[in-house]
Copies of this chain bind each other. A is one copy, B any other.
Amino acid sequence: MFSTVNKPVERVDAHEKVTGRAKYGADLQFTGMLYGKVLRAKHPSAKIKNINTEKACSTPGVWAVMTAQDVPCNEIGVILQDQQILAKERIYYIGDGVAMVAAESLEVAAKALEAIEVEYEEISGIFDPLESRSSDPIHPDRNSNEVVHHKLRKGDVEEGFAGSDVIIERQYETQFVEHSYIEPEAVEAVPYENGSLVTIYGSVQNIFATRDAVARCLKADLSKIRVVQNHIGGTFGGKDEVVSAMACRAALLALNTNRPVKMVNTREESIVESYKRHPYKMNYKVGATKEGKLVAMEIKAVADGGAYACQTPFVTWRSVVQATGPYEVPNVKTDTYGYYTNNVYTGAMRGYGSPQVIFANESFMDELAQELDLSPLEMRLKNILRNGSITASGQKLDRHEVSLDQVIEKAAQAIGYEEKYKEYSKPQSGAKRRGIGMAISYRGCSLGAEAVDGAGAVLSIQKDGSVYLYSGLSENGQGLKTVFCQMAAEELGIDIKHVNFLESNTLISPDSGSTVASRSTLVGGNAVLDASRRAKKALADFLASQYNLPAESLVFKDSHIFTSDGKKLISFAEAARKAFWAGVQLSHVGWYVAPSIHWDEEEGKGSPYFTYVYGCQIAEVEVDMGTGEVTVLNMAAAHEVGRAINPATLKGQIYGGVMMGLGYSIMEEVETEEGYITNTNFDEYIIPTSKDMPNIIPIIVENPDPDGPFGAKSIGEPTLELGAAAIANAIAQATGKRIRSLPLNLERVLLGHPLRKGRGKK
């Protein structure tokens, strides 16, 4: 049926990556380039009494020393502008920048930072969001520490509980985690390049968000700021605000010195400064019939927003929408909150508010099943969303195939769930015990009612029949370039080798918002398809006039154009050549806006997303009862994606997501001690390695979505959000102990609580 899509074609950027030709953020060098470095706060909460930069300024080789007073517009932030490019009077968290320098070498820059004298007055900070709730505002211009409160309402939970046979209530807690991209943040700012005021190159996840931040900071037109994404060594949602702030700083230094300026974070700087995944404290109260039908759910989730709002308002919105899990529950009352603290701030990370609530919800479903003496599988099948179901927010699912039953069945079958579940339910003894656990989810694709959901692409057919393609969304390692090239090649009926995807650049591509929310394939792909169709139509109209045939009847395939009855008319390359020389417009902008959705924030109801994906992951674990060590033996991961544009890169997403979920589940935690971060490198912040890799069984389930390009939906985030719960459920079966706090590391598995080492401030 297809020639290029739905095939495991080689990544279009594979060659440059494996040969080392690919240039990453820190690889770029410019003539006359200076090195920028930031002096960071000494305390997580303090007043700045004085900054003396005199000695730093007179250090030989120093070109600029800048503080808050040198910044045209110092306030930054995507949703609220509550963050500062350089701290002016107050320090809100340990990663705040206080001053910055540009110098001829990193050594001189380090010397200059040491020479800056800052006088602080420490202020007692707030480090617990529940405490923050009733404390004086951390930010003097805010009325309270509440960043946001979202609600969702369906039916009447009090009536629901009254009509329930069983009601149970549990608390769950998750931790700060680090994105752990292999490449720390890196940008270069080049002043006055090719008609721009400043060009930013680097490891930028969201070129338009960074562009907006730099323009705001410099009080400049958006059309004067160019942001170009280089190859990026991972982001997972993490190279957004923190890189924007870095870009602003580099731009300020570059314009101040009229020199290119490079800024690269060390790993320690990255871990101290960059935002994390939100820790959540969650309370689940659920009522069910004795047969296991869910009747009412009341959920409260409190997120630690850290020092700045960042994306807390949107992250907690996704949580409020998805907190009940993929179940049809008649009565729901969910509230999610975000609070300021003086901890490191928290923002977007792959999953975006879903891993936390899924950990709680799917742990809870197992606990409830146990209470009702049902198997976890039975419990779920009684309650899952199906075609035509009404979600917790009141949305009827009738626009696409609701495939939870399919993903559950395929994952269970692949891993032999039922037999293993039965086997591991029998009493186990000995040092090593096994368990199997499942978790399922539904996930709203793309931005939903967060913001306008439009994306653009530019496609241009050259007179030799080769094609170039730009997208407003960017390749973050997820395989976007390959998927978009496949779509263009498929639509035009040409070989993918003639489609050249070019870098994402704010002054070329239409503003398409951010590359987030697993929206690239779906929303960006639709824009690529639109651009391809416009270019194809121009060519078809021209050929129609040449051959006196209806344009719609022409078939583009195998690098040729055919009549409807299969007669080969002309090669694509020759058609392009002729059309060009006949003056046909062959460059086209494609544009796509997601179908209309709505959310009533007051009522807590709506249709927040226009389509959903469905997933089921089942983990089989072995626990060492003497050490608490958990080994994940097998992980079946079944994901329904609409259509797999590239089954190979899609499996890559599953492998990576499973590993990230495994880290979240049993290893990773950014440890904080009164706002100080105590594990600032990978010696103490433990992430999974290839040795921790379980046997992963990736299962792709396809039900082409009418709104997806070639039927495709999303895969980026769902792969990561299920691991914690599935593994927790497996550990509970193996050990007979339910642990409700992440990570399920040695201490928790062994003792039920973490070992607090009391290392104190670093």
Contact = CB atoms under 8 A, between A and B. Distances in A.
A507 interface: yes
Given A31-B29, A221-B464, A223-B462, A587 B510 contact: yes
Interface stretch (A157-165, A189-197, A558-566): A189-197
A68 to B, nearest CB: 24
A21 B192 contact: yes
Contacts of A591: 585, 587
A452 B579 CA distance: 10
Contact of A507 (B223, B502, B507): B502
Nearest to A587: B510
A166 interface: no
Contacts of A583: 452-454, 593
A296 B240 CA distance: 75
Contact of A195 (B222, B500, B580, B587): B500
Contacts of A467: 223
Interface in A463-492: 463-464, 466-468, 470
A500 B224 CA distance: 7
A456 interface: yes
A452 B501 CA distance: 28
B195 A501 contact: yes
A586 interface: yes
B194 A503 contact: yes
A377 interface: no
A215 interface: yes
Contact of A511 (B451, B453, B462): B462
B503 A586 contact: no
Q: Using C-beta atoms within 8 Å of the partner chain, give the interface range for chain A.
A: 35 or more
A197 B390 CA distance: 52
Contact of A464 (B30, B222, B230, B453): B222
A88 interface: no
A223 B500 contact: yes
Contacts of A454: 583, 585
A56 interface: no
Contact of A221 (B194, B462, B507, B589): B462
State the number of copies, please. 2
A468 B507 contact: yes
Nearest to A502: B195
A508 interface: yes
A42 to B, nearest CB: 36
A222 B465 CA distance: 8
B580 A196 contact: no
A510 B194 contact: no
Interface in A188-227: 191-196, 215, 221-224
A463 B511 contact: yes
A502 B464 contact: no
Contact of A223 (B13, B451, B468, B588): B468
A324 interface: no
A111 interface: no
Contact of A222 (B13, B215, B462): B462
A547 interface: no
A582 interface: yes
Given A223-B468, A588-B589, A194 B500 contact: no
Given A228-B194, A589-B588, A582 B215 contact: no
B468 A16 contact: no
Interface string A308-325: 000000000000000000
A194 B452 contact: no
A221 B501 CA distance: 13
A460 interface: yes
B221 A498 contact: yes
A456 B587 contact: yes
Contacts of A215: 464
A23 B193 CA distance: 8
Given A222-B463, A462-B222, A466-B222, A580 B503 contact: no
A479 B187 CA distance: 34
A581 interface: yes
Contacts of A30: 29, 31
A511 B466 contact: no
A13, A224, A460: residue with the most chain B Cβ atoms closer than 10 Å: A460
A451 B581 CA distance: 8
Nearest to A228: B194
Nearest to A22: B192
Nearest to A220: B466
A225 to B, nearest CB: 10
A670 B534 CA distance: 51
A577 to B, nearest CB: 11
Nearest to A457: B587
A221 B510 contact: no
Contacts of A582: 452
A581 B195 contact: no
A30, A501, A585: residue with the most chain B Cβ atoms closer than 10 Å: A585
B468 A511 contact: no
Interface in A502-532: 502-503, 507-511
A580 B507 contact: no
A72 to B, nearest CB: 15
A195 B507 contact: no
Interface in A585-627: 585-589, 591, 593
B468 A503 contact: no
B194 A502 contact: yes
A456 B585 contact: yes
Given A221-B464, A583-B453, A585-B589, A508 B508 contact: yes
A226 to B, nearest CB: 8
Nearest to A530: B585
A96 B215 CA distance: 49
Contacts of A586: 510-511
A333 to B, nearest CB: 31
Contacts of A458: 458, 587, 589
A-B pairs, top 9 by smallest CB distance, nearest first, are A221-B466, A29-B31, A583-B593, A510-B587, A585-B591, A222-B462, A223-B466, A454-B583, A223-B468
7 contacts: A194-B502, A223-B462, A223-B500, A452-B582, A460-B511, A587-B591, A588-B589
Given A31-B31, A451-B581, A458-B458, 9 more contacts: A16-B192, A196-B500, A223-B460, A452-B583, A456-B585, A468-B507, A502-B507, A509-B587, A587-B591
Interface of A: 13, 16, 21, 23, 29-31, 191-196, 215, 221-224, 228, 230, 258, 451-454, 456, 458, 460, 462-464, 466-468, 470, 498-503, 507-511, 580-583, 585-589, 591, 593
